Chain A
Amino acid sequence: MGIAAETQFHVLAVDDSLIDRKLIEKLLKTSSFQVTAVDSGSKALEFLGLQEEEQRNHHPQEMEVNLIITDYSMPGMTGYDLLRKIKESSSLKDIPVVIMSSENIPSRINRCLEEGAEDFFLKPVQLSDVNKLRPHLLGSRTLLEI
């Protein structure tokens, strides 16, 4: 694979369950994504805030987050709360967000989609779901499908 300047997409995964974090991380890595996994919405925002600073001070292309995938049911800040905070932030609102949930509740799904979520995955998430992520990715317009 000697393609020059090949960028890997960076996904931020958020889930309070250790098992599910391990799973989503493996699914994403198998799909050739770079992954950062955190266990809460507040840690996610912290990471994204840190990202902003990196971009201002150093190289803008390094460590950019291209997509956020988050569990819905988390203690403290839910996935929905996180989604809202991201969409309310001028610097983060363009990052696509995907919600995961073990419960198939149409009103919940609609609420998330209305708030700006790109997609909603039912758990357990499969490789076929993760393969659907590429079209949602920020900045993937000019890239060829491998």
Chain B
Amino acid sequence: MCVLPFKETDKMSELTETQIESSDDELPEEVAFDASKSAALKSVKDALEAAKREKILLKEKRKKRQQLFQEQKKRKRLPQELLEEFDKEPQKQTGPSDNKCINKKVSTKPSDINKDKTKTGNMPKRISKSLPDSYTVMRIKDESAAKSLQQKAMDFIQSRLYGPGTKRTTNAELLSLKKKRGASKGAAVEFVNKKLGASQKARIARSNKRFIRQQKLIPF
């Protein structure tokens, strides 16, 4: 229960004001206990109702957001027909491409796959109507679990040796310092990026060739 002192004092001041208006000498008016009680209860009720309203508003907001996400997810998914195809039992199709399956990784939602208990590692035998014969369905989740530990290990080493906190410099700086302190002092080293403007250089070379050919400067 929250007490709202301001409202009460307002009420009190209202009451006292009326009193003052009437007369200073008179006895204070009897404020009925009921009136003040009801006023207090009303204020409490108002507060509770306001809290409830806020909760409802939040709920609605959350619902809307959830719906929006669902719709976005739906848009990303493959059409429902394809998913149903994958869920179906394998149909007996004798074809020359049975043995030559190229594993194509189709990224379906893991939650859908989890519901379907028939998804195991023995996927390559599945053939469905709409998929071309040489395509199969495979879970990515199985493969990624193994790789993640390796990736974690590599990231750990990389971050400890080359990540933030390590005092690293560039190879250009290393060579420049060598030249500066060497027996024959030289200028600092800066590496040329050959890839800069590669397309422009190629264009210029081509136009030069064309010009030379046009002017028949070199016997062809």
Do chains A and B interact in one complex? no
